[in-house]
Structure 1
Amino acid sequence: MKIIVLGSAAGGGYPQWNCNCHNCDGLRKGTIRSRARTQSSIAISANGSDWLLVNASPDILTQIRATPALQPARAARDSGIAAVLLMDAQVDHVTGLMMLREGKRIPLYCSAAVRQDLRHGFPLARVLSHYCGVQWNELPVDGGDHASFFVPQLDGIRFTAVPLDSKAPPYSPHRDRPVAGDNIGLLAHDLITGKKLFYAPGLGGIAPMTAAAMREADCLLVDGTFWTEDEMIAQGFSSKPAAAMGHLPQSGAGGMIEALDGMPASRKVLIHINNTNPILDEDSPQHATLRRHGIEVAYDGMEILL
């Protein structure tokens, strides 16, 4: 199983177009050691030619141009994207569907809650029906063995959707009344190598079912949005703490670092990193802390082989 990180930043990307925080300003001016990142998405393949696009970032066209594997050129018009799977209905994870409108009908895998949001709260599906259209595939979201599913053209990889503690988008009717499937984690099991990936770019808390899935994985690719609970408040960008936005910060008691320290995975990688997070500065003490804990920071173009 091969995984390519197409985008590793949170919503808005990095540098964010209108942000002059320490990171964004420093990256533009070249005063910090860092690298630009597009909004989060990954691609998974069993054969290196046919790929499952996991989340469709607004930056998808840039990501496709940067990823030759997604352009196999087997026909006059062709793509290596065999299907799209959505982890949630957030703007930064679904808007890229509009950029795929010139192609064939999109095989789309998502929960019933996400499908509802895309038909009503943020009706992308209605717009796409005038172009390529969508072939809906509803994901079971109880996280059990019978919730496993396969995606055609990704033979040999079994997927399981795991419901997460996080937040539905602001336009969702479930925003303050969460339902199973608003956000999912994805466990991908390569049946040939036996290796497993757990992917969760939006993770507000680690419930027992989530912890069990994380303990199974050889590689964890999880929420790296904020370093502290009050990061956006302290920098004057928001009145909301990390928890209110559906994200578990890395630092502090019960944070992501503490959680990852207790996991047996051989690789632990943070993704969906907000532009304000000090780990983006590769010379920062926070970045050094991650290295001491054996935790990596995802970047665009990163490849993982399991």
Structure 2
Amino acid sequence: MGTEAQNADARGGSATGSVEPVLVAEGLVRSFGSLRAVDGVSLRILPGETFGLLGPNGAGKTTVISMIAGLLQPDEGTVTVAGVPMGRSSVEAKGHIGLVPQDLAIYPELSARDNLQFFGKLQGMHGRPLRDRVAEVLDLVGLGDRAKEQSKKFSGGMKRRLNIGIGLLHQPDLLILDEPTVGVDPQSRNAILESVEALSGEGMAVLYTTHYMEEAERLCDRILILDSGQAQAEGTRDELIELTGDADRVHLSGSGDLAAAEGAVAGIPAVASVHRDPHALDLTVRGAPTAIALIVNAATGAGMKLSNVEIRRPDLESVFLHLTGKALRD
């Protein structure tokens, strides 16, 4: 995963310096009847930054994206893209955005090349510049060798990659990818992730939603966790992990005198908490790699016969569970 600082250096500035954000969304609010779907969400994305928007189903992600893309008017708040305010009929602001929705937006009877040429013309592109750009995009999404084939013959992953290519055609300043790897094969999924990494490296701002935490870990420089329409936390991976206390989890499986082992390990200063069940102890530990030998010796010395020892370092999934009480795919 790239870092915000590395991306900022590549753009010739610092993350907090003179680089202007591509996207500024401030205080977004949207209600549907009595349901407040989004409640005061704000975010900023810099050039070359991949920003993750994560939340369980019903958190408000799609509503946020719709307001940013100009498909839905916020009840309150503002959106600015590349310095241009987004309004009800903001053609200029929308022109800076490439939107790749969850649902495929391609014509199955057309070839990959013809799909791209059609959508390119809708963006005002013509002639040699359009042909050259179509060829570039086909190579970028790994479809150069299937350019003449009808898209209805493509696999689900290839269709997804073509969908992303359509969003990239006009070289937008902001690319919005709404769960682009849903239902794709592993090879296509990896190709999509590599394409996103390349776009970020070239300076494009990317807003990325996913239900796969490993994708967020790999791609996103900063992440906003959304739940029940409200921002729960925002930051880099390491900043978010600090919210959980940066503690490790240690799982001791075995038999014998687990009650005595529980008391023994609980007295170790690095151990913050211990939970015992009939066949295991689950510990919350500060600096588990350093403390693990002491923990094992204390447990076995108290009469526990260990069958397995597992250290689980904190990750984004644990942060997500901590903040929302749910798994990302719930």
TM-score normalised by structure 2 residue count = 0.28
More helix by share: 2
TM-score normalised by structure 1 residue count = 0.30
